Chain A
Amino acid sequence: MNPTSQHSIRWTAGRAVRIAALAACLGLSSNACRVEAPERTQAEERASATGYRGILLADAEPRPDFVLTDVNGDALDFRSDTEGKLALLFFGYTFCPDICPVHMASLAAVKRDLSIEEQRRMRVIFVTADPRRDTPERLRDWLGNFDTDFVGLRGSEAEVDRIMLSLGLPAAIRDTAAGPDYAVGHASQVIAFPPGDGFRVIYPFGTRQADWQHDLPRLLDP
């Protein structure tokens, strides 16, 4: 074999190896799309079983009956004022550094994706577990950062704790001895009461916007 043909074979082989390597890399890239698909979250597993990505409580009692004060000083009767609507109830506090703002931001973002008519048929209700610091003005401003339609409710600590206990949630723990920047331990789930009652769905912290986007239309029209 003359040197020219040897060189030509080596050059062709080298090029083939490079092309194969490139194809393998690109193949890996396209396979990556498939790596994503089979991964299912716990929420998706739940949805395949119950239809909801939240935790379905099928034998739940009717929505709770309590009256608290909104940021304008008006009384809000939870049961009668949310009747026929999807109510999303959450207990938190405005100084919360993590769970509360994340839940509210997620709900606000997904709510904006709904039609106006659907938005009218739902209420997001935030009950402060820290009424000492969460003044009506602070509560209004804080909720307004997310969505001006979100309803903020206040009551005495004892009242709020009693409502939480009645829903099977632990009472809030207010570490007031830690100084003015004290933390409040509180339940981290949003409770969804669909329009017809009969069941409720629990959304723990970790619920993604994708989960809300999946469940909200089903909760509005169960």
Chain B
Amino acid sequence: MSGLQWWCSAQTAAWTWSPRPFPGVWLFVGLLVGLYWLLGRGAEGSTETSVRPGERRSRWAWFGGVLALWVALDWPVGALSGYLASAHMLQYLLTALVAPPLLLLGVPGRAWDRLAARSGVVRVLRFVTHPLIALAIFQVVLFYTHLPSVVDRLMVTPLGSFAIDTLWLGGGLIFWWPVVAPVPTRPRFGYALKMGYLFLSTVLNTMPYAFLTFGELPFYGIYELAPPVSVLGAREDQQVAGLLMKIGGGLVLWTAITIQFFLWYAREGEAEGPAPAA
């Protein structure tokens, strides 16, 4: 087994089920925990420690997002992602589709208030997280980080693997921003459009899914030539990866679509007011 690595990457040594430490992952998770504390502080100079309504729920969301990232990046999933395309895909789902909306939902309300007061940052965010731009950025990240030449080149070093994970998380945050984040406000991007946006992304991930599932040969050299971990051959492993992308990704996106639908329904109900008494 090779020496200590700061971040998970592809290995030529045979896989073992002995846990391995990845200090970079632990540091990253620790920083996210610390970031929550920073975001949750009161206004500058204030020592406010009170918890606003809904803040407890947001805390659960934030730490759910951190947990998803931790599972994705640390041993065993992170380490297996250097051996199996299917583990790499699971890592992608957790990093780009599960953790970002939870982190955004977990940002404390006062942090959003502070952000809204910064007009320059809001102007940049308004552009970058415009639904069309966000969708395009996410699709480009998705596409490039699944190209065989990119995966084979980057996944063999901790730095390259870190770059892929960072791109996934960054792309995921941008993608989910217009759906989840309250700043900048987008009154015209209502529930119906959010549902359409999410639906469109389920359609767009069909291309890489088809690419992986119906590919005749293994696309990724690192997974084809990796020491075997399971009874799955390289082709079957790649098919599982494609199915995970479609079914797992679809599950996350359709869950979000369903939530948007019920939020919309509830809002409509509120607007109509209580039913008149008989």
Contacts and interface: CB of A to CB of B under 8 A. Distances in A.
B217 interface: yes
Give 9 nearest A-B pairs by CB, closest first. Answer: A97-B14, A25-B136, A98-B227, A22-B136, A25-B140, A101-B228, A29-B143, A209-B217, A210-B217
A33 to B, nearest CB: 9
Nearest to A36: B149
B224 A106 contact: yes
B238 to A, nearest CB: 11
Given A25-B137, A97-B14, A32 B218 contact: no
A158 interface: no
A117 to B, nearest CB: 20
Interface in B201-260: 216-218, 221, 224-228, 231, 233-235
Interface string A177-210: 0000000000000000000000000000110111
Interface string B117-142: 00000000001001011001101100
Given A21-B133, A22-B133, A35-B149, A208 B224 contact: yes
Size band of the interface chain A makes with B: 20 to 34
B185 interface: no
B144 interface: yes
A25 to B, nearest CB: 4
B147 A35 contact: yes
Contact of B217 (A26, A32, A213): A213
B12 interface: yes
A113 B130 CA distance: 47
State the main secondary structure of chain A at its contact with B: helix
B148 A36 contact: yes
A39 interface: yes
A206 B218 CA distance: 13
24 contacts: A19-B132, A21-B132, A21-B136, A22-B132, A25-B133, A25-B137, A28-B140, A28-B144, A29-B143, A36-B149, A39-B149, A97-B227, A98-B13, A101-B228, A102-B228, A106-B224, A108-B233, A109-B233, A113-B216, A205-B225, A208-B217, A208-B225, A209-B218, A209-B234
A106 B140 CA distance: 32
